[in-house]
Structure 1
Amino acid sequence: MKPAAFDYLRPSNVEEACQLLLEYGEEGKLIAGGQSLLPILNMRLSTPEFLIDISGLQELKYIHSEGDWLNIGALTRQRDVERSALVKEAAPLLSEALPYIGHMQTRNRGTFGGSLVHADPTAEIPLSLLALNASVVVQSAEGAREVELNDFFITYLTTDIMPGEILREVKIPVGSIPMGYSFQEYSRKHGDFALVAAACVLDTDEQNRITGVRLTLGGVDAVPVLAADAADLLIGEKLTDTLLQEASRAASAHVDPEGDLHASREYRLHLAQVFAAKVMETAYNRAVAKGGTA
């Protein structure tokens, strides 16, 4: 199928794009990489009258560090983030997660911010950034505001972005880089959407006791899930097989996956427990190998 007819608009800056969004409301849609929107348009699940192309806004394409923050512009290509030496050093979890996204051609076109705005609960970027305690900056004609990622995702394919707002930047705290990290997912074949995904960042002290941990799960609810109950069990402890199983059960206890033609609810719950254990164990072993907190 082909998209319904639309008028094509190409703003020259962020402020103009925000004004166009305000002017056309629900009849205007932003496009940048197009990896999520174009299939929706082709299937006519969305038929906007105006397509607002922001792919040329160079001001939203960057990766740089500023103090204790790693800042990534919303229009930065996913492949550029994947290959960035700065990202690999400051946020290696992202470098590990990005190759799971589709295929290289997908990542060459897809934007870093586009994945966040699309808000698919199985997506790799939102899940990793939630584990990294990231926040986002959204821009409107009136100014900018910062939103913690835990408050950004509202429900399935829905975010806190208001009419007339554009995602401008992702901010990742890197003042204390986690020593251990892991991202893993299960899909039926490479490039498919994940049935379940998990991410973990973890720190240990010199006695190998866990001093900090963030565990997130994707594909198990309407939004990416921060498994705080599991993390609480680990603080101050060395990771044992018994504790690992207890924490992985806690991680899957408060999620609410839906069954579909790809996997039943019960199977997704099982995968959530299995992959929670996998990423916690891998992150812990990496932290211990580095000798505790830097």
Structure 2
Amino acid sequence: MYEFNYQAPTSLADATQAIAGAEDGKLLAGGMTLVPTLKQRLARPSDLIDLSRIPDLKGIKVDGGTVTIGAMATHAEVGASEAVKQAIPGLAWLAGNIGDPAVRHRGTLGGSISNNDPAADYPAALLALGATIYTTKRQLSAADFFVGMFETALELDEIVTAVSFPIPEKSGYQKFRNPASRYAVVGVFVAKTGAGVRVAVTGAGPAVFRVPAFEAALDKSFTASALNGLSVPADELNADIHASAEYRAHLVTVFAKRAIEAIG
């Protein structure tokens, strides 16, 4: 690990000032990706700005038709929240099945989506639910926020503050886990909303994506059998030691069906 300046601001204003004033600063949320990267000397920031002491970045609130979750809420907090379980059970299940207990008690919603690992779980929920991401500068739709592999629309000195999820009629998420990391080899989030069904897939490709053909079929019949005979093309999916592109394409259909069946 290289030397760096450690800062632990206690307000969002101080954090914004710290990252703007740093030569090459990095924001530290849960540290699930950043800390191992630093240990392996794959990054050399001038400053590390720890967001864990900022109260305004925490908390879970249900207001009307939305669930708003602070960026520094941990996966364990989201998964255990009775408010989230009642409003968006698919989101609670997703958060409660990220990694292992150590990861769930340290990893955060804001850190996960800002890192945008192509095998992370949250991006599928944000895209399927039509979430809004709030930052220190603006608000972004999930469709505009996730740009590509490990890439988001965030500017270098921009901090995610919260994510707001519209409450759907029904929601479900299922994934094929990597047995070691528990990342999604393929994960599928299905949300039934007043405006129609949305299906988002993580793990299968270089970035989270929706499946319009699945959505159209489920709009007509919200049953697992409605997806019989449907699949996603394999030519743009990931292929690695864990699964071929063709196998991932197969898993997308399988786990979309399982997500619907989990909804009941």
SS of 2:22's equivalent in the other structure is: helix
User: Is contact 1:11–1:53 with CA below 8 Å preserved after alignment?
Assistant: yes
Which residue does the alignment assign to 1:169? 162
**Residue 244 (1) aligns with residue 242 (2):** no
Q: Structure 1 residues 183 and 240 mapped into 2: Cα distance closer, same or farther (>3 Å)?
A: closer
Which residue does the alignment assign to 1:230? 214
Flag the structure with larger Rg.
1
Which residue does the alignment assign to 1:120? 117
When structure 1 is superposed on structure 2, of 266-275 and 88-97 the one drifting more is 266-275
Q: Report the Cα distance in structure 1 between the residues aligned to 2:247 and 2:57, rounded to whole angstroms.
A: 40
SS of 1:121's equivalent in the other structure is: coil
User: Is contact 2:59–2:70 with CA below 8 Å preserved after alignment?
Assistant: yes
Q: Report the Cα distance in structure 2 between the residues aligned to 1:15 and 1:75, rounded to whole angstroms.
A: 16
User: Is contact 1:62–1:76 with CA below 8 Å preserved after alignment?
Assistant: yes
Which residue does the alignment assign to 1:257? 237
In structure 1, the gaps of 5 or more residues are 205-210, 287-294
Of 204, 209, 212, 1:220 maps to 204
Paired residue type of 1:55: S
SS of 2:14's equivalent in the other structure is: helix
Of 179, 184, 187, 1:189 maps to 179
- Deviations 1:129-175, CA, capped at 9 Å, x for gaps: 22221110011xxxx3110111100111111111211000100112x
Q: Structure 1 residues 238 and 101 mapped into 2: Cα distance closer, same or farther (>3 Å)?
A: closer
Which residue does the alignment assign to 2:189? 199
Q: How does 1:1-294 map to 2 (within 5 A)?
A: 3-25=1-23, 27-139=24-136, 144-174=137-167, 177-179=168-170, 181-189=171-179, 191-202=181-192, 212-237=196-221, 239=223, 241=225, 243-246=226-229, 248-249=230-231, 252-253=232-233, 256-283=236-263, 286=264
SS of 2:42's equivalent in the other structure is: coil
User: Is contact 2:57–2:161 with CA below 8 Å preserved after alignment?
Assistant: yes
**1:236 CA drift (Å):** 3.1
Q: Report the Cα distance in structure 2 between the residues aligned to 1:38 and 1:267, rounded to whole angstroms.
A: 32
Identity level (%): 32
Paired residue type of 1:78: H
Paired residue type of 1:183: Y
Calculate the TM-score normalised by the size of structure 2: 0.92
In structure 2, the gaps of 5 or more residues are none
SS of 1:267's equivalent in the other structure is: helix
Count matched residues: 264
Q: Report the Cα distance in structure 2 between the residues aligned to 1:138 and 1:39, rounded to whole angstroms.
A: 25
Calculate the TM-score normalised by the size of structure 1: 0.83
Q: Report the Cα distance in structure 1 between the residues aligned to 2:95 and 2:180, rounded to whole angstroms.
A: 13
User: Is contact 1:200–1:213 with CA below 8 Å preserved after alignment?
Assistant: yes
User: Is contact 1:225–1:255 with CA below 8 Å preserved after alignment?
Assistant: no
User: Is contact 2:117–2:150 with CA below 8 Å preserved after alignment?
Assistant: yes
Q: Structure 1 residues 255 and 169 mapped into 2: Cα distance closer, same or farther (>3 Å)?
A: farther
